[in-house]
Amino acid sequence: MRDAFHEDLDAIDQSLVEMSELAANAMLRATKAILEADLALAEEVISEDERIDSLHHDLDNRILTLMARQQPVAGDLRTLVASIRMSSDIERMGDLAHHIAKLARMRFPACAIPPELVFIIQEMGSVAQEIVKKTTGIINSRDTKAAIELEKDDDAMDKLHRKLFEILLDDKWPHGIETAIDMTLIGRYYERYADHAVSVARRVYFLVTGSYASDQL
């Protein structure tokens, strides 16, 4: 019974890795869609968000079933509780990529990104990919040191987010209110995507150590 239980725990880890990889791919393609006004790609991201949602619901059900059937304690219970929260974070990351793709679709055939902001959005997309790549590795390896260090990558996203706002709040902003609102939302989506990835890493730290990563910062 214990061997089967630990096989179930390993399967949960692999499902979290799969969800994280899907969320990474969704944001990669959503970024391309928003930068290039690629309607077909945006539609793919929008429709495939259902796959992440389905994995999320399935994983949560499996975890709750294990809790009821095995009545785990100590480290095993901590793992299951942390995993159900990680699943929620990753599902939300997929939603944020979905939102960016929907904005690309809404503004098509125009590009939603003004030319002078293309570089910032490219950078935000690159930072998002770096963060989620590391997060996926942390889920797989349970590397607590890497989980703590991920905060530094999130700082880079926060700096880009502030830089974007500085441009939007400049009195010389030439693109009107609608575009400013679009860019505010897009910036927020990237910033929250990174926050959820960091949250996943923190939960890995917690399930391994039983303490919170914030205590180590």
Angle between helices 74-107 and 176-209 (to 10 degrees): 170
pTM score = 0.93
What are 159-178's pLDDT values in tens digits? 999 999 999 999 888 999 99
Domain borders along the chain are 2-216
b/e per residue 2-17 (b: at least 16 CB within 10 A): eeeeeebbeebbebbb
N- to C-terminal Cα distance for the chain? 39
Name the CATH superfamily housing domain 2-216. Answer: Phosphate transport system protein phou homolog 2; domain 2 (1.20.58.220)
Average confidence (pLDDT) over 170-188: 93
pLDDT in tens, 4-41: 777 888 899 999 999 999 999 999 999 999 999 999 99
